[in-house]
Structure 1
Amino acid sequence: MSNRPITEDDLHAYVDRALEPEREAEVVAYLEKHSDVAKRIAAFSDQRDLLRSALLPIAEEPLPPQLNLARIIESQRRPRAPAFRWAIAAMLLLSIGGLSGWVIRGATQVSTSGLTALAQEASESYRVYASDHIRPVELRDSTELVQWVSSQLRQPAKLPDLSKSGYRLMGGRVVPTAHGPAAMFMYDDDHGERLVVLTRPMTSDQNAPMAPLAGGDVGGFSWADGGMGYSLVGHGAAESLRPLANEVRKQARSI
């Protein structure tokens, strides 16, 4: 590992995924020690994913014939009646307006991705299942749960052990998301406080430093390692859950 300081250029290159593997590892280590910078960079990554998702379908569409530069130049060389020239201008304006509509349509219909999506999915799972006092989890046997989760995620899964932190496993279930199935593990303590750990494969932000999340009465942390995303959420401020998130990340890395 080099002793070069991490610069803004390095951070932007990290967002653009343009760093060499060794330098990327140094940036990841730096972000893990600087949560304020990590939060800012995570926001940049989310913006990048949103723009790419919004503009990709449009970029693949063929250019409308009315906007073809060669055709426009050719039409200008031909003698036209004044009224017909106005009709051509109006057509071009309508075409440009239609293209703008396509851009706006794509931008408004885009769905979140990366850590932002994972955090939302974990928060939604917490709100739905943590308040359920009848059937908050589907499977309670840890062996059966691991086997089921592993088969649905198509890779080995490991249950985080939070007993030393005062939380016992209640069980879990597989929950559907816009990005495929995710494993939800639920824990509670002697006071009835519940936590949810959500994990699934990531299509973007496959290696991302821990970032805090907050949404009303739900707080927690999300991160990604080696293509797997993790989000720990619970009731209260995010910072109070940082030790638990660190413990889950430590255990996940030992798989």
Structure 2
Amino acid sequence: MPPTAPSAVPGCDADADFAALGAYVDDELSADARAALQARLASDASAAQRIAAWRAQKAALQTLCRAGDEAASPGYVVLRRRDPWWRRAGLAAAWAVVGAGFAVAAGTLMPQWLPDGAWGGATRDAAGAGHDPAFLARDAEGFARRADVAYAVYSPEVRHPVEVGAADEAHLVAWLSKRLGKPLAIPPLGEYGYTLVGGRLLPGAAGPAAQFMYQNGAGSRLTLYVSVSGRGRDAVHLLSDGNHRTFYWSTDGMGYALSGPATETRLRTIAYEVCGALGGTRAQW
């Protein structure tokens, strides 16, 4: 069955109602008409859900259009599933558009002179071979942005935030260690009020990546993103994006990124703690 239209504005037919909702998304309504429609959305769940879906698709298309511009700031879209199948399909299509845009942007940034390293292509030997350090810096930032996007996508999840829960921690560590080809460890963060939720396998730039999720008593979440980096030891750096932040570094050929909300004032301290627990030294911060 085709998707049903949202309940119509009194006195308007379905086509006019769709046009009014579209104009609302594009900020084309007059002040009075916008106020009236906002009042309606408070009690019309169907119309509110359609507005949310259209805004998500619009943001995804805007992100794709910016992907080829290296000077533009990257955009991120966090989509949540809705019950109707047709809306879930539309949001999935929007994510496919965003993924294609990121793939195009990553292709323009990824160094081609060493295709099999980490940070998406640069290896530890590259710095000693006289290659431009800017390549390495951009690869590291690309790693951080993938971690940041993974946090934005999975931290709001209610029913499926992880693939394997904390109850199976031993299995989780063994499984992800095997997939990444490196022994992994999950640093405890109990002294900061965070307990392990679990983890999942994710695609990285040039191979698999792992994400471990923590949560505190207030429901706030942190994620630790891990992948092979091919880099010996990099200092802890900060990537700040709106209402969340990501601290990232590399130690002994592994890249790490700790992401959390901007409201977590201790996030830098926690990142240093995690860095040290995973083999880092104070010289890195």
TM-score with structure 1 length normalisation?
Answer: 0.54
CA distance in 2, matches of 1:221, 1:237: 14
1:13-24 aligned at under 5 Å gives the runs none
CA contact (8 A) 2:143 2:205 kept: no
Change (3 A) 1:226 1:183: same
Matched residue, 1:244: 270
CA contact (8 A) 1:220 1:237 kept: no
Deviation at 1:114, TM superposition (A): 3.0
CA contact (8 A) 1:221 1:238 kept: no
CA RMSD of aligned residues (A): 2.6
Out of 47, 53, 56, the residue aligned to residue 111 of structure 2 is: 53
CA contact (8 A) 1:206 1:224 kept: yes
CA contact (8 A) 2:110 2:139 kept: no
Residue identity matched to 1:226: D
SS across alignment from 2:257: strand
Deviation at 1:206, TM superposition (A): 3.8
Out of 160, 181, 184, the residue aligned to residue 154 of structure 1 is: 181
1:3-14 aligned at under 5 Å gives the runs none
Matched residue, 2:247: 221
CA distance in 2, matches of 1:239, 1:166: 13
Matched residue, 1:132: 157
Summarize deviations over 1:147-168 as a string: whole Å, max 9, x none: 1111101111101111111100
CA distance in 2, matches of 1:121, 1:174: 13
Deviation at 1:238, TM superposition (A): 8.0
State yes or no: 1:115 paired with 2:140.
yes
Matched residue, 2:190: 163
Gap runs ≥5 in structure 1: 1-49, 58-109
Out of 233, 242, 245, the residue aligned to residue 259 of structure 2 is: 233
Change (3 A) 1:111 1:207: closer
Matched residue, 1:198: 225
Gap runs ≥5 in structure 2: 1-107, 115-134, 281-285
Q: Which has the larger radius of gyration?
A: 1
SS across alignment from 2:164: coil
CA contact (8 A) 1:213 1:238 kept: no
CA contact (8 A) 2:204 2:227 kept: no
CA contact (8 A) 1:197 1:231 kept: yes
Change (3 A) 1:190 1:111: same
SS across alignment from 1:157: coil
TM-score with structure 2 length normalisation?
Answer: 0.49
- Say which structure is richer in helix: 1
What percent identity do the matched residue pairs reach? 34
Change (3 A) 1:51 1:230: closer
Which protein has greater RCO, CA pairs closer than 8 Å, 6+ apart? Answer: 1
CA contact (8 A) 1:139 1:173 kept: yes
SS across alignment from 1:143: helix
